[in-house]
Structure 1
Amino acid sequence: MRLKRFGALAVAALGVVGFTSVFVQSGTAVAHGSMTFPPSRTYACYEDGRIGGGGGDLNPTNPACVAAVQIGGKQPLWDWYGNLISLAGGKHREIIADGDLCGPTTKYDAYNLTRSDWPTTTLRAGAPITFKYNAWAPHPGTWDQYVTKDGFDVTQPLKWSDLEPVPFDSITNPPLGSGEYSWNGTLPNKSGRHVIYSIWQRSDSPEAFYSCSDVIFSGGSGGDTQAPSAPGTPTASASSTSVQLSWSAAADNVGVSSYQVFREAGANDVQVATSTGTSASVTGLTANTAYQFYVVARDAAGNTSPPSAVVSVTTTGGGGQEPGACSVTYSVPSSWSGGFTANVSVKNTGTSAVNAWQLAWDVPAGQGISQAWSADVTVASGKATARGASWNQNIQPGQTVSFGFNGTSQGTPANPVSFTLSGATCATA
């Protein structure tokens, strides 16, 4: 079940990235949190075991929880808040295989069991909800809540394709109090048995946390379960650093409430704009660069349409921002024979936000880039381009984002000479 590539990735990274969890004398991992309402599988089984144990050991009575303990032992229940991948960096769909979503590492693999008797929470479809998420060790970041599609079968392995294509709820840095994050949202109009899948991607680290909450939706007011039709193919006009998009409206039985614009970015497409109308502007792009965009419609009940067809557009030539609107700090904290680790910080020193940022530089001779975190880094014709992840793609004035990568080098690694941020030449610190 478990994705073997992740195990190899974690082992390879131990030399340059420390564990994000620490250990107390009992051997319990001090990790960072999990959904407590609606409860994740690990939290629900922990509570079931706590009640069954009568205040002593954990002795679950729920059949699915019992089966999970028989496979993986009780430690995942004591550590119900530690279902994480340290080096996720927003690449969830790339590093977690279908069937492993609820427990992407060996320790929590048993919580991928395809059973219909996991503990469930009954929720009213389309109703307001206050999500609660334990903050064992608080960190900033973004929480995305997905729900399974109509017709989902809990007795089959949970696949990425079983989830609706966009989250029905997203929040960045929710309120924190008494050791718990909480925020208000609206449930989708679903019926029957479903899974709410939550991803918490930290913004100060590539570490991400995952949880499956088993729920039963009862009928709510309105009962709108019909998704909008796909929007029309967008048309695009470009300048050197922005693209103006427009499209024909989607149809819906009740009414479309908003449109979400996405930029294609391999396995991790990035949402770059939201609009209540049929047009949007995407800024912070790089001159003379090809982009692909598509649009998804959303109604008030949270139903989302199929994506529109993709429009391809190339930005024009030009300098973008004035030079000096950004500053880059580049450091090499460690190096070894044939390789090195680099840390990069990018500060927006301008007066307007840089959205969907892209940092470019010429790779010094004899160097290569093998692995990156907190950004997607590609190399073509000797030029490296780093693009922000879904959780750090925009840089507000005065804000700094950071990422890192492992590289190869022939001899002592040299630092790049210059950087450009979305077409603007940056100062180097």
Structure 2
Amino acid sequence: MKKRIALLAVAATVGAVLVHTGGTAVAHGSMVWPGSRTYLCYEDGRAGGGGGDLQPTNPACAAAVAQGGKQPLWDWFGNLISNAAGRHREIIPDGNLCGPTTKFAAYNLARSDWPVTQVQANSTVTFRYNAWAPHPGTWDQYVTRDGYDPSQPLKWSDLESVPFDSVTNPPLANGEYSWQARLPNKTGRHIIYSLWQRSDSPEAFYSCSDVVFGGGNNNGDTTAPSAPGTPVASNVTSNSVKLDWSAATDNVGVTSYTVYRGTQAVATTSSTSATITGLSADTQYSFTVVAKDSAGNTSPASSSVTVRTASGGGGDPTGSCEVSYSRPSSWSGGFTANVAVKNTGTSAVNAWQLVWDFPSGQQLSQAWSSTITVANGKATATGASYNANLAPGATASFGFNATTTSTPADPTSFTLNGSVCAIR
């Protein structure tokens, strides 16, 4: 009996430890491009540990571990103050900006050998911020002043007085926030300092990203951007269509996107959206997007989207599709949805894409009989191999599970390859 009691005590202790570890895992995020000190040191530790324990080989990362241990690296996404409430300069003293709490204090070390990210001055880039637990709020990005000395502790006066970039509630997809920003005109080594102040809580997050700004040439950059996301069509008329896509990523920064109709370039933009005009009525078109970086490297083409323009009169095509949307089950914090899309037109819809609004409080967790991506507040479902094409009168059915922070509301509009669908 004594042995059984002892074993139960050990099991209870292990259970308590597991619960505590699970609680730690809900910390909230950090900059992953350009990488923060905690994130890049974590990645350096993973590489040095060969997939087991964290063993940083970068000298600054190793010094931080020697001073503060490895737990800050395991929790690289948790560099926060829970009651900041916008009082950053009031509660964080000079020299503590990169690690404002005791746990992360080692990441304030004044060294010039922290891992760095090469960036291009004046280029448009895509910032990426990991989201372990999504929250609404505003991100402000500052850069150090000209003449900043990395061998000295970072002070508030070392930062430019205003942020060069600010964004509220950026798009969230695949566990990351991402948004485009224009980098400042700097040269040499600097710090990009990111402040994320939640709007639903006084909690705020901090990260220091060490960067080296290049000049106007390619600085040996031969790495092409990744392919942009598949374009999503909307606002289809008899002679135009609006296309939106998720951003490409690049080791330095994406500067522009080119939209192709077949093999012909029809638009170039620095944003992730373009309206294509001059199209013919009741005609099917295929569009792809290619990204370009500041060194002139071009990405692979995105997957294509096929769109049929309206038959005339400049309005949206209607009556060519019908959607049934239902939620057979809901629970606290989530729901299941079933969707059926029917081609009610007289022509086949090949490589179908169904698009609807996906509120920021919802997060996709699972899908079946289709592939669903979420970006810029829109969900896009594409057919599986066995139901990707819809003949006239055919129906494709699919479903998904999602988490939600509020009572879910049924979508009020759907578009199938750019055509507005009836809802039944």
Give TM class, smaller chain.
0.3 to 0.5
TM-score (norm 2): 0.46
TM-score (normalizing by structure 1): 0.46
Structure with max Cα Rg: 2
